[in-house]
Structure 1
């Protein structure tokens, strides 16, 4: 059997066992054994030399004492190194709660076991514990205040959702993307360009800083409304620029000006394969601009006519001064009746281009397109649109276009798509164009788009 340590000699003593006589004053009554059974000591009397407060008095004077006794019921009662009055004084100095007072009392009880700590050491440790408990108390009070502030912030955030609007930077990015989309050679649906703009913004939401919008349906709805407004404004400004260029501005000068205003990148800064792609894109842009100029020359009545957006509402013709942050407000003009959807400027031009690509191919580099530009479009443009005889664009047989002539097509041309950063411009349109074509009349493009008085 392992020998036990003797607190008096410091050496092993085989027959030594702890008892209350070793830890209490000799005058304190001790338990006795009768027939091997430990009996409690005799009750204390007023004549006894040892005086100690009753449990009721202790609990009433120091509430933490009874709590500590409940938490640590098995700790042996030993004389405390520090009196209860001093423990209570430290607790009162830091304004500690009863639970923290119980911790101080339990700490002193543990420090008083066996030989116990010295009085200075016990006081120092007790004071440090009181400081820590005070810090914890202050921290909890501060956390409660922070919790109230966090709740206030959450409430303000919810209330601000009703007044959410894209930032000025986001508005500028929306407008830049809208310009780029409408000016792309592969743009086959100007009237619905807002869908392409939305797709680009979602794909590039991190670099364009739209991460706070996508994923929140309410904010996405606000964003879509802003995109439609900017697209309407961009369509109006582009149409106005085309009308102003005819017949006074040469095609190459007009293309250069529009490149600087509408395009997101500068092809001249590219080299190698990128420069080749940019050159191909430049040719497609020039061809499309030539078609647009011929279209507005043949249909001057569209200049003051309000366009129709994707929702069928009239768009106000924009002013000559363009703002990059404020979308043009929609307003129904009383002087010009609103055209039906698909019969406005961009709706008819989209239909014209889809039919022309069905007849001549979806690549501007094809032989049919090259011959058409060389023989019909460019001579008229270079002559300043002073030639009276103007050829038909769409159908080889000279007949009128019909809904049956609009078949699903794919516009494939060397160069990138908008969403792929101009690695190639490929646009697909699998939906058939609904509605019937206008009646056939004389004049340039009149087989498809008659003049209106």
Structure 2
């Protein structure tokens, strides 16, 4: 039976060099023998025959197949690229594989060129970050060292005191002084004389900033009721008469009295005091506590050319000495 079936099939001629439609050729004998019982006769029309399916051809290799993960990692490691830059390289390979795709040499050259640019940019970025870290490290070390070794000089402390939160306007200072040193609230009858007294002393200190550091006439070491603004070297004995702060205040008032008269009601004194009050209002208008203030009272006296000291350092100290020693009564100063 098998031999009869094989004899009934036409011989097939296969062209091994080409696959596809028409690659199979069939030849048939001029006449077909009678088929064996139970078998259908083989069709004699070649167009009814279905050729054998050729084996599948492999697709053209993609850019990923050409480059490979190992090659891309080697390029990224050579240029010290991070994960973000490595993703950029993979995206470049994906773009180069679209359509027909780039050749292996073109893809590799473009990939290496991109990696070189990314590597140079990454190196510059790392250098900048290192410099910033070094700068902050140096500043922290300097801050630690200066915290133990650096101290302000007396003139620097004088300038720094201008930023004190207690630096305030004349009106605020007068009320604070009255409550603190006299224990009273100012009224219409007592406010004017007291304001004039404090305003003149305050103006004198602003106009003569160096005198607030002048040693006192005598040291009263037993009185520690008031906070020391700055440690001063201890003095023994008494300073020269007239060289202490209050001696200078007395000399200043003597000179002003000789020019303006012995009463505050004279036009010269009235103009002088009004100008002091006006300049103080202009200087401290809208003052924020702690803000830097430069004292400038141009029409009241000759300028010393230096910045005035703070109220806490000079005005309060002047008021304390006035209350302790009662300078105005003993020396005949006219208030």
Which TM-score band applies after superposition, normalised by the shorter structure?
0.3 to 0.5
From the two aligned structures, give the one with the greater helix fraction.
Answer: 2
User: TM-score normalized by structure 1?
Assistant: 0.31
Higher CA-based Rg:
2
TM-score when scaled to structure 2?
Answer: 0.39
**Higher RCO, 1 vs 2 (CA within 8 Å, ≥6 residues apart):** 2
